[in-house]
Amino acid sequence: MIEAGDRVLLAGEGREFWVRAGPGKLGTDKGEIDLASLVGKSGGDIVATHSGAEFTIRIPRPTDFFTWGKRSGAPMLPKDIGLVIAYTGMNHNDEVLDAGTGSGIAAIYFGGVARSVKTFEIRPEFSALALKNIKEAKLENVEAVAKDFLDAEGTFDVVHLDMQIEPRHVEHAFSLLRSGGYLACYTPFLEQMAIVVDAATPLFREVHTHELIEREMTRSKRGTRPSTSVSHSGYVTIARK
């Protein structure tokens, strides 16, 4: 059931609106919606503007926070986050440390999978923004910490780094991981990827790097084929302790 202050996605009439349930009105070219009327409703319910245009209520998922959440920079793409989850085997038993929080998008995805997530961001203003997104995602198992990753303590099943990585960061991640745990490092450039691989290889039993490429399919009257645009976003290196 939707409560006052909850984020809600309204979809209909060929468009979507990212709104907050509670006081106020949403003005559209199809009429106004009283946002207080969303309180007490559920996902899938229909709300109408004063002129009768109908919109379906959607309860936000991590993909919606990627699209609509406030950003402090460019977050990891969903396909890249998905690779980290898949290749580390992240699951409901895992304690995850995420560093380089940014807007908190990766932490939100991880929070829907893992038992707990602690995400470190050295820039306090970025950490504060991420905390707002995490609270709006209603994830009580995700903690945003405004500290340097090198100050992190504890033991974790997965450590994920999306930041300017130096060998000392890889070494610290190794010290935080349980036996059998995974380090996942996102790097946008080959030079950064090489730093990660060179630092990880003497420490970890397995080290593998994956290029992150995605290509959509297009369909027209002439036929179906891969899009000519190739989305290359970077590299993820997975290392197992």
Q: How many domains does the chain have?
A: 2
Domain limit, last residue, from 58, 75, 91? 58
Q: Which domain holds residue 51?
A: 7-58
112 shares its domain with 135 = yes
End-to-end CA distance of the chain: 43
CA distance 195 to 200: 9
The per-residue pLDDT for 201 is: 98
Asked if residue 111 and residue 28 are part of one domain, the reply reads no
Say whether both 157 and 227 belong to one domain: yes
Q: Kindly state whether residue 131 falls inside one of the protein's structural domains.
A: yes
Residues 30 and 148 both lie in one domain:
no
Both 36 and 91 in one domain: the answer is no
Domain C-terminal end among 58, 80, 97: 58
Q: Assign residue 50 the CATH number of its domain.
A: 3.10.330.20
- 2 part of a folded domain: no
What is the radius of gyration, based on Cα positions, of the chain? 21
Domain boundary among 21, 42, 58: 58
User: Are residues 83 and 67 part of one domain?
Assistant: yes
Burial of 228 (0-12, 13-18, 19+ CB in 10 A): exposed
DSSP single-letter state for residue 75: P
Query: Is the same domain home to 77 and 176?
Result: yes
Residue whose structure tokens are 């409703």: 41
Question: Would you state the pLDDT for residue 23?
Answer: 93
- Which H, E and C letters describe 84-99, residue by residue? HHHHHCCCCCCEEEEE
- Same domain for 107 and 24, yes or no, is no
Residues 6+ apart with CB under 8 A from 211: 232, 235
User: 191 and 82 share a domain?
Assistant: yes
pLDDT of residue 215: 85
110 and 43 within one domain = no
Q: Residues in the chain with pLDDT < 70? A: none
Does residue 1 fall inside a structural domain? no
pLDDT at 130: 94
Same domain, 144 and 224: yes
CA–chain centroid gap for 235, Å, is 17
What pTM, to 2 d.p., does this model score? 0.88
